[in-house]
Chains A and B, each alone.
Chain A
Amino acid sequence: MANDRRAQLLSGNEACVRGALAAGVRFFAGYPITPSTEIAEGLAAALPKVGGTFIQMEDEIASMGAVIGASLAGVKAMTATSGPGFSLKQENIGFAAMAEVPCVIVDVQRYGPSTGLPTSPAQGDIMQARWGTHGDHPIIALMPASVRETFDLTVEAFNLAEELRTPVILLLDEIVGHMRERVELPPDESVHVVNRTKPVEDPETFQPYKPGPNLVPPMPAFGDGYHFHVTGLAHDESGFPTGRGQDADRLVRRLHAKIQNRKPPVARAEEWQLEDAEIVVVAAGSVARSARAAVREARVRGIKAGLLRPITAWPFPENEVREAARRAAAMIVPELNLGQIVREVERVSGGETKIVPLNRIDAELITPAEILERIQEVAAHVD
């Protein structure tokens, strides 16, 4: 499916499909769930046309397993789901982190807990994206705020997964997934696409988990003749379980380090009107749209407000937030949950500034007016 330059009206979920295709996805396994289903439907139609494979599995656990299997067989693989399905995928996401299997998991967040309000927006899975699977695993999660950015970050999700051999989560929310915007997508050939590094060593001496210079081991595919072993047990560089604590320690620390040490940093945030900002709004995903409008309006009214928008929920853009906290009199953190991003903001700001949460869980958007009102209240109390 060629992306052409003409402007088109696309939803976030459709842009995700287009981004995945531009990045070279060749396998999708999933299970229907609102509000993510359009991604499965789009790829069911598109994948056979590029010689790829789509399968609707019996549940989300199976979908995640199939995605990992397909990736090990050498193709770029993804799944898409929402809250309840995201919960079911967690054990196998941990396997992908431990066995270093590149893959992309889209979670179009909906209102929870449990079945909640299936068609209503929320940002309740930010902590689940970080800590949903057990153990001390690292994770990357990206949070687009527009349709065009959904395209770009879907491509980036695949690129990071392939470069770093890790599962990458794309955290949409119902608003970003379903809203339609006029976008111009780049032509396919101008999209920067990263593919996993394959080993060049002789299969006889090959150590499948011996890291390269960027701490990432080159990755053969099943059928390439390497006869390698993949396990979720703690393993050494040979890929086989050893049962030794020191080997597990070295492995898990490397899994974190390969993401933490990556240059340029994986963690990033958009900074808007931040240079002289006294009041900084920290908002991600759809909420950042209202936050931007509120900051613009506050500036009109003479309040020095700014926006700090985490693009990666994980790793959290700690440096950016810490720096902004040092300079700001207050930080307002609006979220469609009872306070998840705000915990990170509190943690990294280390008491340097006043932190004001703004939470909504009545299945409605946070409006620019609400954020503006909070900015004005806070401004009234800072000199």
Chain B
Amino acid sequence: MSIEELLERYTRRDKLPHIWCPGCGNGIIMGAVIRALDQAGVDQKKTVIVSGIGCSSRAPGYMKFDTLHTTHGRALAYATGVKLARPELKVVVLTGDGDCAAIGGNHLIHAARRNIDLTVVVFNNDIYGMTGGQYSPLTPQGSYATTAPYGTVDRNFDLCELVKAAGGTYVARGTTYHTRMLIDLISAGLGHKGFSFIEVVSQCPMYYGRKNKLASAVAMLEWQKEHAVPVKAAAKLTPEQLKGKFVIGELHREEAPEYTEVYAEVVARARGEEK
């Protein structure tokens, strides 16, 4: 599909232009999500896009689907209700690193644990964009933020490892630099039955970039290119060689019973017993 066709079919063109800063990664990720939805062949009428609060969480407002812009951190909780009430709907969650890992961290753990059929795309720009550049749980230790004028003290965590450990059954990491790969990763997540999670390393030139002397979006994309290591290549490297780098690609996939399917069995049992 041409860009023009994609825009016409999947975006609310009357809501454009968007609110994002020049060079922001959010538009690239939204574009990848749209292309992935198209590629995976999802039924647009039966797809709901849910987000929390943040710059990234504004994406659903531009997308021509049923869309739900919730409260900060709670997108996964709302999405769980939508999915349980109507399991036939495809439910996609778009969330920021702060939204998903800080205030929403507990919901992330439990949604993954349930292996409920949601596809989560995290816009990880390493910072709180919307509130003006405070550090998030994913801000690399030692980097600068408006609330870390001397560098962050907190250790940052690896969300993909967290989701895998919690029971998520499809886990991947992409970047806004490797867009073709990103579309494929999201599309594979959409096709996976169960909790699928895609972390996207992105850029906020406005705050993370400025605070950390990476003033241009281009410099930040180049940083991604230099520091991302594809899964296959990473397998051949020692932890020492991987230091300071991050791994991209499909990181984990397994088959496990999906929550709404198991609940449907509960319903069948409960109704059978009543007879």
Of the stretches B85-93, B168-176, B177-185, the one at the interface is B85-93
Contact A51 B85 (CB under 8 A): no
Contact A66 B45 (CB under 8 A): no
Write out the residue numbers on chain B whose beta carbons fall within 8 Å of the beta carbon of A233: 69
> Is B25 an interface residue when CB atoms closer than 8 A count as contact?
no
Contact B61 A69 (CB under 8 A): no
Q: Which residues of B251-270 are within 8 A (CB) of A?
A: 263, 266-267, 269-270
Contact B80 A48 (CB under 8 A): no
Of the stretches A71-79, A171-179, A277-285, A355-363, the one at the interface is A71-79
A57, A61, A69: the one within 8 Å of B50 (CB): A69
Contact A57 B85 (CB under 8 A): no
| Closest beta carbon of chain A to B64's beta carbon, Å | 5
Write out the residue numbers on chain A whose beta carbons fall within 8 Å of the beta carbon of B74: 61-62, 65, 92
* Most chain A CB within a 10 A radius of its CB, from B50, B68, B81, B263: B81
B60, B81, B109: the one within 8 Å of A69 (CB): B81
Contact A92 B71 (CB under 8 A): yes
A66, A95, A227, A232: the one within 8 Å of B66 (CB): A227
> Is B227 an interface residue when CB atoms closer than 8 A count as contact?
no
- Mark B34-62 against chain A: 1 for CB-CB distance below 8 A, else 0: 00000000001110101000000000110
Bound-state Cα–Cα, A227 to B62, Å: 11
B69, B79, B83, B85: the one within 8 Å of A74 (CB): B85
* Most chain A CB within a 10 A radius of its CB, from B80, B83, B106, B274: B80
- Mark A210-247 against chain B: 1 for CB-CB distance below 8 A, else 0: 00000000000111011111111100000011000000
Given contacts A48-B266, A77-B85, contact A226 B78 (CB under 8 A): no
The size class of the interface chain A forms with chain B is 35 or more
Contact B69 A91 (CB under 8 A): no
Contact A27 B270 (CB under 8 A): no
Bound-state Cα–Cα, A73 to B68, Å: 11
Contact B270 A61 (CB under 8 A): no
Contact B70 A72 (CB under 8 A): no
Bound-state Cα–Cα, A232 to B53, Å: 10
Contact B71 A95 (CB under 8 A): yes
> Is B84 an interface residue when CB atoms closer than 8 A count as contact?
yes
Bound-state Cα–Cα, A146 to B83, Å: 36
Write out the residue numbers on chain A whose beta carbons fall within 8 Å of the beta carbon of B82: 69-70, 72-73, 222
Write out the residue numbers on chain A whose beta carbons fall within 8 Å of the beta carbon of B110: 57-58, 62
* Most chain B CB within a 10 A radius of its CB, from A48, A64, A67, A232: A48
Write out the residue numbers on chain B whose beta carbons fall within 8 Å of the beta carbon of A29: 80-81
A residues neighboring B (CB under 8 Å) = 26-27, 29, 45, 48-49, 51, 53, 55, 57-59, 61-75, 77, 91-92, 95, 221-223, 225-233, 240-241
User: Given A49-B274, A53-B85, A69-B78, 15 other A-B contacts at CB below 8 A?
Assistant: A48-B263, A53-B84, A58-B106, A62-B77, A63-B77, A66-B78, A72-B78, A72-B81, A72-B82, A73-B82, A73-B85, A74-B85, A77-B81, A222-B82, A227-B67
Q: List 22 A-B contacts (CB under 8 A).
A: A26-B85, A27-B84, A29-B80, A29-B81, A55-B80, A62-B110, A63-B77, A66-B81, A66-B84, A68-B78, A69-B85, A70-B81, A73-B86, A75-B85, A77-B85, A223-B66, A223-B88, A227-B44, A230-B67, A230-B69, A232-B71, A241-B61
